[in-house]
Amino acid sequence: MLSCPLFKDYLCKDDFKTSKGGACCFPELRVGVFEEIVPMGISPSKISYKKPGIHLSPGEFHKEVEKFLSQANQEQSDTILLDCRNFYESKIGHFQGCLAPDIRKFSYFPSYVDKNLELFKEKRVLMYCTGGIRCERGSAYLKAKGVCKEVFQLKGGIHKYLEEFPDGFYKGKLFVFDERYALSYNSDIVSECSYCGAPWDQYKLCSTPQCRQLVLTCPACQGQGFTACCVTCQDKGSKPASSPTQNSFKEECECTARRPRIPNELAQQAQLCRSPEPRPGVGEDGP
């Protein structure tokens, strides 16, 4: 690719990221041309990737995070450490002290910013994602709103950061969109089994054929038959079902459909200050 004239002015060796894998992790190769590599839902002609945030090398980003975490009161800080990935990605690994939006698609990110614009006013935003791709569009969108003091992004994403700082400020696993589900660079486990609460961070697909949700269920709970993403799917999985067709797969399950599509951070903070809610059990919202 580096020798191809098409990529001469766009790629360098540092843009490539390597990790351990195998043929079983990548069952097929597809090459396509898309308007957006990771869909944000807004045309690049309206929000251009050519106007992104300031790129910080892993070393520079590390220093910024270190400075942010050293502050006595991070909630009153003029800096926000923003994870622009989906909730199931940040759930198993994230930077300490980050704001991780509870959204399930990157195409929800613009609406999240719009709904929580007050949160970003006069703030220095340190943004990061898996490999830096989503930040190109996400930081450009945030900058276009004209409310932030500054917008920075981690060049090369978490992947490049972990190559230099495996035991740095990123804790847990790095979610990847292939059959491996996650890459491990440190021994920290930041998530838990959705059923018993034991430390656990290895995803599996929901055992109900019609569901595509990921579930965190530890070996002990799997042994007891808890292999679905929620109680509703667990009940469905125990009943005989006809062979699913491609069209019968669901993008959302009952457990994710109950969650707000676009969370309001300031409203949630106010609610927590008034009366902290108990942790949902399996009988309520499930994982």
- Whether 93 and 212 map to the same domain: the answer is no
CATH code of 114's domain: 3.40.250.10
Helix (H, G, I), strand (E, B) or coil at 205: strand
88 falls within a domain:
yes
Pair 75, 209 in one domain: no
Instruction: Answer whether 24's CB lies under 8 Å from 179's CB.
Output: yes
Q: Do 221 and 129 belong to one domain?
A: no
How many CA atoms lie less than 13 Å away from 27 in the CB half-sphere? Answer: 4
Please name the amino acid found at residue 107.
Answer: S
Same domain? For 172 and 201 the reply is no
How open is the CA angle 228-234-240, to the nearest 5 degrees?
115
C-alpha dihedral sign at 5, 6, 12, 15: negative
Helices (H), 210-264: 219-223, 231-237, 254-257
Q: Is residue 276, in this structure, part of any structural domain at all?
A: no
Distance CA 113, CA 276 (A): 25
Is residue 220 domain-shared with residue 160, that is, in the same domain? no
pLDDT tens per residue across span 83-111: 999 999 999 999 999 999 999 999 999 99
Q: Same structural domain for residues 126 and 222?
A: no
Given this model, what pLDDT does residue 132 score? 93
Are 201 and 180 in the same domain? Answer: no
Active-site choice (12, 24, 98, 129): 129
Beta strands in the chain (DSSP E): 54-56, 79-83, 93-95, 124-128, 150-154, 170-172, 174-175, 182-183, 203-205, 214-216
Which pLDDT score, from 0 to 100, does residue 112 have? 97
| DSSP-assigned letters across all residues of 144-199 | HTT--SEEEEETTHHHHHHHH-TTSSEEE-EE-SSTT-EE-SSS----B-TTT--B
| CA 49 vs CA 92, 142, 149, 173: distances in Å | 28, 12, 19, 28
Boundary residue ending a domain (154, 175, 190): 190
Per the listing, tokens 């399930």 go with: 104
Number of separate domains in the chain: 2
20 in a structural domain? no
Residues 126 and 218 in one domain: no
Looking at the chain, the number of H-run helices and the number of E-run strands are 10, 10
Is 226 a member of any domain?
Answer: yes
SS3 233: helix
Tell me which residue range forms the domain holding 183. Answer: 37-190
129 is catalytic: yes
Task: Please check whether residue 275 lies inside any domain of the structure.
Answer: no
The torsion angles phi and psi of 157, rounded to 5 degrees, stand at: 70, -170
In-domain check, residue 4: no
d(CA 186, CA 170): 9
User: What tokens appear for 170 in the block?
Assistant: 């990123």
- Give residue 41's Cα distance to chain centre: 17
219 and 183 share a domain? no
The verdict on residue 136 lying in a domain is yes
Residues of the chain with pLDDT under 50: 244, 246, 276-287
Phi/psi at 125 (5° precision): -105, 125
Same domain, 183 and 42: yes
Same domain flag for 181 and 196 = no
One domain for residues 164 and 61: yes
CA 226 to chain centre: 25
Residue 206 lies in a domain: yes
